[in-house]
Amino acid sequence: MISAGDIRKGTTFELDGQVYTVTEFLHVKPGKGAAFVRTKLRNVINGGVTETTFNPTAKLQEAVIERKEMQYLYTDEVLYYFMDQETFEQIPLNHDQVEEAIKYLKENMFAVIKFFKGEAFSVEPPNFVELQITQADPGAKGNTASNVLKPATVETGAIIPVPLFVNEGDVIRIDTRTGEYMERV
């Protein structure tokens, strides 16, 4: 059990049969009345966001989220298959579970799969990936006075804003947490 007064960003707990993670929190101590904790919670199973206030002395049941590194194998256009490197067991995940991560994953790359009570619910790509640009418009000559970006499509289909000097065929490093171009490799 954890106290609502100990809530921090990233804390995961069960509430009313659902599992939530804290995305924002604020301890409020008004001049008149009791203190409370204002939170913004994200449901880890379905992704819904809700705002809730707690009494700082309220007790919450901490949720145990298991994280396991698995290899992305392939997709059959409906399901995405990942393999456990220890047991070689393959698990299929639907598009909702891999939606954010799949735009940065190529076949045979490793990703972290999150489980709650044995059920996979989310995929986390590596923090940085190196992908080849498959389509990019040429930059306008002389347009280098400011930090101008152009859209480029990488081999997984994701569209990333890149500087004008980056061309088709270049391999770039991408920060998957923000979706931003880092550097040319």
Q: Are 161 and 181 in contact (CB under 8 A)?
A: yes
CA neighbor of 116 nearest in space, from 41, 64, 52, 50 = 64
Residues 93, 110 within the same domain: yes
Residues 9, 46 within the same domain: yes
Q: What angle do CA 153, 131, 152 make, to 5 degrees?
A: 20
Quote the pLDDT of residue 126: 92
CATH code, domain carrying 179: 2.40.50.140
Mark the ranges of the chain whose per-residue pLDDT is less than 70. 140-146
Distance (Å, whole) CA 173 – CA 75: 24
Quote the pLDDT of residue 69: 93
Sign of the CA dihedral running 155, 161, 163, 164: positive
Residues 91, 80 within the same domain: yes
Residues 37, 74 within the same domain: no
**Domain boundary pick from 62, 92, 112:** 62
Helix (H, G, I), strand (E, B) or coil at 26: strand
Quote the pLDDT of residue 68: 92
Residues 97, 119 within the same domain: yes
Q: Which domain holds residue 86?
A: 65-124
**Domain boundary pick from 62, 81, 96:** 62
CATH code, domain carrying 21: 2.30.30.30
CA neighbor of 129 nearest in space, from 182, 58, 57, 68 = 182
Tens-place pLDDT, residues 58-70: 899 888 888 899 9
CA neighbor of 126 nearest in space, from 79, 175, 73 = 175
Q: Are 57 and 45 in contact (CB under 8 A)?
A: no
Q: Give how many domains the chain has, as a whole number.
A: 3
Sign of the CA dihedral running 117, 121, 127, 129: positive
Quote the pLDDT of residue 48: 84
Q: Are 83 and 118 in contact (CB under 8 A)?
A: no
Distance (Å, whole) CA 129 – CA 109: 9
Q: Are 162 and 135 in contact (CB under 8 A)?
A: no
pTM for this structure?
Answer: 0.72
Quote the pLDDT of residue 159: 92
